[in-house]
Amino acid sequence: MVRDRYFDNAATTPLDPRVLQEMMPFLEDGFGNAHSIHAHGQRAIAAVEQARERVAMLLGAEDPAQVTFTSGATEANNWVLANFSEGAVGPFEHSAILEPARRSGLQILANCGVQICPPDSPLPFLSVMSANNELGTLWHPQQFRASAEVLHSDMTQSVGKLPTDLEGIDYASLSAHKFYGPKGIGALYTAEQPLPPLLVGGDQENGLRAGTLNVSAIVGLGAAAAVALDTMEEDARHALEMRAAVVEGLEGVADWRVNGGEEVSPYVLSISFLGIEGESLVVELDRAGYAISSGAACSSRSAEPSHVLTSLGLDPEWLRGTVRVSFGRFNTLHASEELARVLLTSVEKLRTMGRRAGKRAT
Ligand code: PMP
């Protein structure tokens, strides 16, 4: 079983077989265009609306009409941020918030440790994520309710994994592939005020998002939402147990630390080891058959240190040796204990190699 050694679930999760099973008919005979009048179209639109209900249920939204399907969280974030030119975003946001924010001329709030410093005066717009993809740190976007006229949250790392609280949130983004659904599908939740569309050229999604609906993917998102609602408690408990096992398994190692602060997602473990390169550790683990990450997958191919880790003020020595282990439904406690053992021996091996290279150089 390969999935049990895949510890990069914050980058993406494997498709749940129950999700695949629900999607398959819509990749076969159920190919209709959801906006066609005939029976093929009717079958497709019925499945789309059922998926919308399931997503609304997972979010605890009042009305399925508050859910608009998008190609993922990146699109949902871009859609929201394209509509606001004054305001700010949090300091720990994903680049799918930071880059559209720069385009729109939004400010970036400062960080107070792993907390977000509140703005001096209320802002027209603010976007704060619910869970961080690199650290797992959890925030409560609603604590900024009084600081912003319009409040958006990128909930990509918490939806489907932890309970969603939409109280006081105007807009929220989510993505199916972070909770065992397919890639390339997500949604924007809108409390009341629909935003002018980002994509125009068709009247799908009530004219809010043009383009032929990706029915099988939408069905997959709906199925993933239904499974998540059923298994969330068990999944979170399982993740917490595995996370604790890895931390415990590393106790014999010298000079390491856990990042992310007190309130962290059970699904993410960010750890730094002094004196090694995170990338080398990722490669060592890959050789042993384990997938972990040296940061956010989206930025781990760039040589720049992550803005999230740098803003925490981590010493460059520690920063370099940072890796992320992210847990999911298909990992096992046994594989997590094994992972800790492989981490331990790999860190020791890399440190010895580093010491030898250091000696040769002097
Ligand atoms: N926001 C966060 C916090 C994420 O972790 C990701 C995925 N790495 C995204 C947005 C982008 O989501 P998607 O892949 O659906 O575009």
Give the Å distance between the CA of 317 and the centre of ligand 1: 28
Query: pLDDT exceeding 70 applies to what percent of the chain?
Result: 96
pLDDT at position 302 is 58
Q: How confident is the model at residue 362 (pLDDT cuts 50, 70, 90)?
A: low
CATH superfamily of 3-9+232-357: Aspartate Aminotransferase, domain 1 (3.90.1150.10)
Q: Which atom of ligand 1 is nearest to the CA of 175?
A: 15
Helix then strand then coil, % of the chain, to nearest 5: 45, 15, 40
pLDDT at position 225 is 99
Q: How confident is the model at residue 361 (pLDDT cuts 50, 70, 90)?
A: low
Same fold? 3-9+232-357, 17-229: no
| Distance in angstroms (rounded) separating the CA atoms of residues 116 and 98 | 15
Report phi then psi at 131, rounded to 5: -145, 135
Write down the domain spans for the chain. 3-9+232-357, 17-229
Provide residues with CB under 6 Å of ligand 1: 72-74, 94, 96, 129, 133, 154, 156-157, 175, 186, 298
pTM for this predicted structure: 0.96
Q: Which atom of ligand 1 is nearest to the CA of 186?
A: 15
Residue-wise pLDDT for 212-256, tens only, equals 999 999 999 999 999 999 999 999 999 999 999 999 999 989 999
| Distance in angstroms (rounded) separating the CA atoms of residues 37 and 22 | 23
Q: Is the pLDDT of residue 98 over 70?
A: yes
| Distance in angstroms (rounded) separating the CA atoms of residues 189 and 152 | 10
Q: How confident is the model at residue 314 (pLDDT cuts 50, 70, 90)?
A: confident
Q: Can 112 be counted among the known catalytic residues? A: no
Q: Which of 56-60, 125-129, 353-357 has the lowest mean pLDDT?
A: 353-357
Asked if the 17-229 domain carries CATH number 3.40.640.10, the reply is: yes
Give the Å distance between the CA of 352 and the centre of ligand 1: 37
Residue in 112, 117, 298, 333 annotated catalytic = 298
